[in-house]
Structure formats: structure tokens, C-alpha cells
Chain A
């Protein structure tokens, strides 16, 4: 067991090291692609400008330099934590880091519900459909899956908005008019801290988070050490002492990690509005945020629901015909246990790839769904950046998406070993 876990840690470190050249390549490609865009980056804000102001601005942003010089400067700035300045749009003049820190939590909040709920519903649907093959339930679920795969997600979002925004409103004779739906969250003025943390702060937060997790891990190891069986008494005492020391050190490290995190949250907030409104005690704001999250989340669950259901069904059907399932049935294992323990775990191996792929599709889906519901998150900011030719913001957004994609791929590969212990990476 211990040997294997060391292998896993080594594997993860190696994968992270492989990620670095990949990120570098993506950075290079997006840099040159975004500079090849046929839009003047200052186009949207230079109406009524004197030509000299225009030249000064170009000089200030470094757009007059040759492209390779710009590239080298950008690389230097990128690795020192300054991702450039937004040229135009809603966040004109902000640093890209600040924009991403304020905007990403909002989209993650939107994504987290679909990412958790979609696989649960889809796997459940696929399993039930495979269990009652060629019965009424199966036909129903399959038809829902095919229809769900066919309809574009943005169209479903429009239909939802149309239904709740207009049909319900008119059908109830204009009485479906809760106060919470009308109140615009901007006017509520919550008592959150409005300061944006610097990059160093966020880096420190991540460091302390790791410290905290390390502390918990130490406590866990210490506990395990105590439970080890010993024949000699002195050895038993030694291990007891060792485990006590480990637990103490772990608790200390944990507190050392937690205190700065609490300080960070008190000064900056987490930027996740749901969590913030609980921490800073704003019940109205909490319900308002939840109400605004509801429809976008529902329409986001539809994006990858159908695909996962179809794949789960087909792999489940294949697994159910295997010999070990027949053996389990012959042994007299209850049907529920066969489906949940014997079959589903084997059927999930090909599906887990798609489940994590749902993260990527949700990130891209936010481009459309945030536009439809007027939700200013990652997707909305990214889309306006592409329209306006806002080069640093485009690069920053693509880099964030790439980091999320690569790390989710890594998580899938690690998850494979948990789902299927036969898979061992060397």
C-alpha cells in the first residue's frame, strides 16, 4: 500500500512537470493567434481621439514594438505574475489577474452545481435504463437521452428563460412576481470587503492550504501508526509516543495553515458569493444569489447529461453480460447489490473520462449561457474580450481554461486508479 502511494505521488509530480512545456506551448500559440486578430485592440475606446493620444496609448501599452519583442516582454511579465492590462470593455484599465480573480469564482459557482449533479443523475439514469433493457423505462430514458443530445444547450437555456420569464408570468395573470427575482443584486450593497487580493496573496493562500492539508495528512498517519499491532511492549510504547508526536505536529501545522487562511478570508472574502454571504451574514443576498443561479445551472446540466447517460448505458449493458455477474446472481447476491457494486463500478471506467470532460464543456458552455442570462462571469468577459480584440485578457482567459483542462485530465487519470485498482501507472 505504502509503495503504491509513493508511486502515485511520483506519477502526479511527473505529470505536473509535463504540464509546464504544454502550458508554454499554449501560451505561445494563443499569443501569436491573438495578435493575428484583425481588430485594432484600441478600436472600441478611441472614438473622438486625437491621433497623438492614440500614438501615446499605443506606446504606453507597448503595441508599437516588433512582435517578438512584445512576446519576450509578455513572457517576462507572465512569469512574474503580471498578466497585462485590459484594454477595453467593462473592466477597462484593470489588471488581468484582478479581473480573473473577481470573475472566475462566479463562473465556478455556476459550474459546481452542474458538475456535481449531472454525473449523479446521468449515471443513475444510464444504470436504470440498462437494468430494464427493452422495457418502457428503457425506451423513455433512451428517447430523453437522444433528444437531450440533439437540442443545442443555448436553445434549452432560451426556452427556460422564456418559460419562467414570460409564460409563467402571463399564465398566472402577472402574479408570478417574487420580489427576489426583480431585485438586482448590484443595488443590494452587501457588506463584503471589496478589496481585490494581489497575486502574492493568492499564492500565499494556496501555500497555506497545502500546509493545512499536510497537517491533516500528518494527523492521519499518526493515527494509523498508533493502531499498528506490536508484540513487544517497549515497541508499542515507542510507537504510541511517535504517533502522539506526529498528531501534535500535525495539529500545529494545521493551525499554522488555518490562521492565515481565516485572516485572508476576513480581509478579502472568498469572492464566492454564496460562501461570502454565509460568512458575512447576508441572508437576503444569499437567497438572491441562489435565485439568480438557478436557471443557468439547470440549463448547464443539460450540456453533458445526455452523453454520459448514453455511454453509461452502453458500457453497463456490456458489463451485465459478463461471467462474474452471472456468478454473482447464481450465488444469490441481491439484484440491487449486483447493479451497484459489481456492475456499476466496472461500467464507470469508460464513463469517468466523460464526467471530467464535463468540466471543459461546462466552461465553454458558460460562453453561451452567461450571455443568455446576462450573468457577468468568465464566459461573458471572455466573449467581450474576443469581440473587442482585448489581447491580454484573451491570453489570460485561455491560460486559465488550459490550466483547468490539464488539471482535470490529471484528476481523471488519478481517479482511474481509485475506480479500477488494476490500473497502475509506472
Chain B
């Protein structure tokens, strides 16, 4: 598609079009067009569309959202430098101090159950929350992408089996099944994340399937088929890249939802208490209300994280495809 400079120059010579000097207008004056310069215009359009994308992306709300997420990531990475409390002092077997103490110089935000420091638990919980947000969503979106392409492209029996599976998962409340499974697999956090992700595949599969069914009827796919391309090749090099952007858009929105869902499971006390975790902090904080911050802080942090993810998702959607409903 993209030709070298020599070829372009050759093209211009043959067609006898204005020289390079007159092109200055094109660079300097916005909106100036030289329709004959197809190749160069193609290149410039590409850059311009990228620029437009970034201009749409860089709204105030999106910047705020990404800053909040970045600060949470920073907090998650550098937690040991930010607090003097190790994790061992913040999980059940140890009882370091007076429970539900009001703020003091040693504990800037007071203490919660068994005298654990609220601020330290908040900081250590950031790591857990990042995992809580990313791992299930990654599994769900990845699984949905691959299975959705397979289901929609093959059709017939494969599609029927997948769709009945999706219907089955849709007819049971997911959270309830996860709660039952926590009693089977133990309260290990990573197991819960993986199980939750596996159940969340269903929705993505349905969305991806509808996308692929639209794309399958496009001309370029038919051309590839008549050209004799392999099924696998058509599926993953023609259909897949075109269905990718709308799926990626849903990632951030789902991140918020999964985080809230797993925080709810933690709130019910069905995750391990060996990892500091905001959901459990809320559950501990609401029993005694001497130190109000014990449940205010983790709740606000959860909400900030979820809101930031939602804002980024909204911004991306507005930049790429405003008509898409997610």
C-alpha cells in the first residue's frame, strides 16, 4: 500500500502536479487539501486521525480517571516504602494493639479490628484490588474473544453448544454460584478470582459473537474465503483484529464491576483473611462505629478505583466509537 518516496515523486512527475513548495500550504494551513496527492494524504490522514483520537481522549474526566488509576498503581507497587507496617502485622493471627482506636500520631487514620492500622491496610489492600480488577477481567475478556470468534465463525453445532452454555450461566445468579464454590475450593483469593473470571466469560462471549456475526458478512472476509484462505487464518487474521477494539472498550467498565463484585464477596467474609483487602475492611469497620474511618476509608477507595475505571472506559468509548452501547 505505502509506496516509497521515489515512487511518489515519479507519480507526481508523470501527472505534472505542483511541486514540493506548494505543499507548504498543506502543512501550514489547516484544512487545506490537495486531492491529487493520494499517497501522502493517506499518510497524513493516518497521523491526523491518531491526533484526533488523542484529542478526543484527552478530556478532563479521562485525565482525572487515569491519574487516579496511576496513583493507585504507584501505591500498589511502592507500598513497603510508604508504610512501616509489614503485612504480618495486619492480618489475623497477630493482635498488635487496641481495636478501633481513634486517629493518633502512630496511626494516622486510627485502627480497625485487632488494632490493625487503617492506613497501612488501605495501602496494602491496593495491591489486592489491582489483582481483583485485572485478573478476572483479563480472563473474561480473553476467553470471550477466543470463544466468541470460534462460536460465531463455525456456527451450527458448536454455536449451539456455546449458546446453551451461556444461557445456563445466565439463568443462575453468578455471585451465588461463586459463593457456593468458595466453600468447595477454600477461601483462597486467586481461586476466587479465576472462578469469577470464568463465569464472566459468558457475557463477553455473547457480545463478541454478535460482533463477529456482523463482520463475517463483510466483503473482505468473503474475498479472503474465495481466495482460499484457511478457516483459522480467516478467523484470527481477518475477523479477530476488526472485532478487537469494541471488546477492549468493555475492559474498563467490566473492571469496575468485577472489583465491586469481589469486594462484595470479601465483605461477606468468604475470602481469605490472610491478605489485606478493602471489602473485609468494610465488614470489620461497620461492627463497632467508634472509629468511623475504619469503614469510610476502604469504601471511598473502592469507589474511587471503580469510578476511575468507569471514567477511562467512557473516555475511550467517546474517542473511538461514540455510538457503541456498553
Contacts and interface: CB of A to CB of B under 8 A. Distances in A.
B294 to A, nearest CB: 11
A147 B181 CA distance: 31
Interface in B281-311: 282, 286, 289, 292, 295, 299, 302-304, 306-307, 310-311
* Residue from A152, A360, A371, A397 having most chain B Cβ neighbours under 10 A: A152
A421 interface: no
A130 interface: no
B295 A158 contact: yes
Given A146-B311, A152-B260, A26 B323 contact: no
B307 A26 contact: no
A30 interface: yes
Contacts of B38: none
Contacts of A162: 286, 289, 292
A299 to B, nearest CB: 13
A390 B267 CA distance: 21
Interface string B178-201: 011101101000000000000000
A150 B304 contact: yes
A364 interface: yes
A155 B307 contact: no
B172 interface: yes
A368 interface: yes
A29 B172 contact: yes
Contact of A154 (B180, B183, B282, B314): B282
B218 interface: no
Contacts of B167: 22
A38 interface: yes
A405 B171 contact: yes
B30 interface: no
A147 B186 CA distance: 34
Contacts of A34: 180
Contacts of B310: 146, 149-150
A386 B303 contact: no
Contacts of B295: 155, 158
Contacts of A256: none
* Residue from B168, B171, B264 having most chain A Cβ neighbours under 10 A: B171
B263 interface: yes
Interface in A65-80: none
Given A151-B303, A155-B282, A314 B256 contact: no
B177 interface: yes
Contacts of A38: 183-184, 186
A405 B302 CA distance: 29
Interface string B153-184: 00000000000000110111101110111011
B307 A368 contact: no
Interface of A is mostly: helix
A33 B173 contact: no
Interface size class of A (residues with CB under 8 A): 35 or more
Interface in A295-353: 311, 314-315, 318, 350
Nearest to A372: B286
A386 B306 contact: no
B268 interface: yes
A363 interface: yes
Contacts of A155: 282, 295, 299, 302-303
A425 B179 CA distance: 37
Contact of A37 (B170, B184, B289): B184
B325 interface: yes
Contacts of B289: 162, 166
Nearest to A401: B173
Contacts of B292: 162
Contacts of A397: 176
B268 A37 contact: no
A32 to B, nearest CB: 10
A39 B299 contact: no
* Residue from B180, B267, B304 having most chain A Cβ neighbours under 10 A: B180
A35 to B, nearest CB: 10
Given A22-B171, A38-B186, A152 B307 contact: no
Nearest to A307: B257
Contact of B168 (A26, A314, A371, A401): A26
A398 B181 CA distance: 13
Given A166-B289, A350-B325, A364-B175, A152 B264 contact: yes
A319 to B, nearest CB: 12
A389 interface: yes
B307 A314 contact: no
A147 B311 contact: no
Contacts of A382: 176
Contacts of B183: 37-39, 386, 389
A401 B170 CA distance: 12
Contact of A398 (B176, B263, B306): B176
A150 B325 contact: no
Given A162-B292, A367-B268, A147 B173 contact: no
Contacts of A394: 180
A280 B177 CA distance: 40
Interface string A387-421: 00100001001100110011001000000000000
Contacts of A166: 289
A383 B267 CA distance: 12
A311 B253 CA distance: 13
Contact of A26 (B171, B175, B260, B299): B171
* Residue from B167, B176, B186, B304 having most chain A Cβ neighbours under 10 A: B176
22 contacts: A26-B168, A26-B172, A30-B177, A30-B180, A36-B184, A38-B183, A39-B183, A146-B314, A149-B310, A150-B256, A152-B264, A155-B295, A155-B299, A155-B303, A158-B282, A162-B289, A311-B325, A368-B267, A398-B176, A398-B177, A398-B180, A405-B173
Given A33-B180, A371-B268, 4 more contacts: A30-B177, A152-B282, A159-B299, A383-B268
Interface of A: 22, 25-26, 29-30, 33-34, 36-39, 146-147, 149-152, 154-155, 158-159, 161-162, 166, 311, 314-315, 318, 350, 360, 363-364, 367-368, 371-372, 382-383, 386, 389, 394, 397-398, 401-402, 405-406, 409
7 tightest A-B CB contacts, nearest first: A150-B307, A155-B299, A150-B306, A37-B183, A150-B303, A151-B303, A158-B286
